[in-house]
Amino acid sequence: MASFGRRLHAAMAARGQFCAGIDPHPGLLTAWGLDDDAAGLERFARTAVEALGETVALLKPQSAFFERHGSRGVAVLERVIADAKAAGALVLLDVKRGDIGSTMQAYADAYCDPASPLCADAVTVSPYLGFESLRPVLDTAAVHGNGVFVLALTSNPEGPEVQHATTAGGRTVAGTMLAHVRAANAAALAAGDPLGSVGVVVGATTGATGEDLAVGGPLLAPGIGAQGGTVEDLATVFGAALPQVVPAASREVLGAGPALDALRAAAVRTIEDVRDLLFRASIQA
């Protein structure tokens, strides 16, 4: 199988730079006229996939909103992953796992090994037990051609107390993680891949960071829409790295449902806005 970086690069060229989140918040279920139970969850999530799976490059189910419904919710998540892949979208499973040793390997087996029904094209992880604690996921993903998105500069107000802290070497913790990801992508880029398979998560609402965000892999930028970020903010945050950015939104799109056409139109508007931003940036460069 081609590497995740290659597959994502091709998907963005064909479908535009956008990741649609599938976050079945209780409030969204209610807004769609659905019960907050496993049946409502399945109707919501599979409708989202039906509307968006043939349109967006990347679909991002948030695991927690499925897990809260127990084993039936996890079974729905398995079907959502399968449906999204069948529709041609890449699947980024948002689990933000972070652990050590055999436990981290178990997470890797769950989310990065095709033998598991929870295996997605890529997974989010937290590096704040040390970057090398991620090694089981990084290695397992690489073997199977999958991707990994590492939390780097998140937009939550609590993030800076860890991410902006300075190490003994004078670099910020976030900058250290960005450097690790850059190194992890070096071999793939040297081999000719257009994009590395290890990405980072940088919030669209973080503003100018002062960090070097050119890591050779994709830059997932959550926070567009309901969280206050705009497409125009992406130029401020990412600068020259803008071509590697994958903006992400969930409620901004899902709030347009449950009608399939309305969901699809909401995603297409964002895709077109990003495409326009990239065009203007290329002219100014």
In terms of DSSP bridges, do strands 58-61 and 219-222 run parallel, antiparallel, or are they unpaired? Answer: unpaired
In 3D space, the residue among 3, 5, 46, 38 whose CA is nearest the CA of residue 218 turns out to be 5
| Cβ-Cβ contacts under 8 Å for 78 (sequence gap 6 or more) | 117, 118
**pLDDT confidence tier of residue 227, bands split at 50, 70 and 90:** low
Query: What stretches of the chain show up as alpha helix (H) in DSSP?
Result: 4-15, 26-31, 38-52, 63-67, 70-86, 101-112, 135-143, 160-163, 173-190, 231-238, 251-254, 260-284
**pLDDT confidence tier of residue 285, bands split at 50, 70 and 90:** low
The SS3 call for residue 151 is strand
**pLDDT given at position 36:** 98
Residues recorded for the chain: 285
Given a contact cutoff of 8 angstroms between Cβ atoms, the answer to whether 202 and 213 are in contact is yes
Mean pLDDT, rounded, for 201-208 = 91
pLDDT in tens, 3-32: 999 999 999 999 999 999 999 999 999 999
**Where exactly are the structural domains of the chain?**
4-284
Query: Is 226 a residue whose pLDDT tops 70?
Result: no
**pLDDT given at position 230:** 79
pLDDT in tens, 114-150: 999 999 999 999 999 999 999 999 999 999 999 999 9
Given a contact cutoff of 8 angstroms between Cβ atoms, the answer to whether 201 and 150 are in contact is yes
Rounded to an integer, what distance in angstroms lies between the CA atom of residue 187 and that of residue 189?
A: 5
DSSP letter for 165, please.
Answer: P
Protein fold of 4-284? TIM Barrel (3.20.20)
- Mean pLDDT of all residues belonging to the chain: 95
**pLDDT confidence tier of residue 43, bands split at 50, 70 and 90:** very high
Q: How far apart are the first and last CA of the chain?
A: 35
Helix axes 260-284, 231-238, angle to 10 degrees: 40
How is residue 247 written in tokens?
């903006």
pLDDT in tens, 145-198: 999 999 999 988 899 999 999 998 899 999 999 999 999 999 999 999 999 999
The residues assigned a catalytic role are 96
**pLDDT given at position 277:** 87
The SS3 call for residue 243 is helix
Mean pLDDT, rounded, for 224-238 = 80
pLDDT in tens, 248-273: 999 989 999 999 999 999 999 999 99
Query: Is 89 a residue whose pLDDT tops 70?
Result: yes
**pLDDT given at position 87:** 98
Percent of the chain with pLDDT over 90: 86
**pLDDT given at position 163:** 95
- Residues 133, 8, 42: CA angle, nearest 5 degrees: 80
**pLDDT given at position 58:** 98
Handedness of CA 235, 238, 242, 244 (dihedral sign): negative
Query: Is 284 a residue whose pLDDT tops 80?
Result: no
**pLDDT given at position 126:** 98
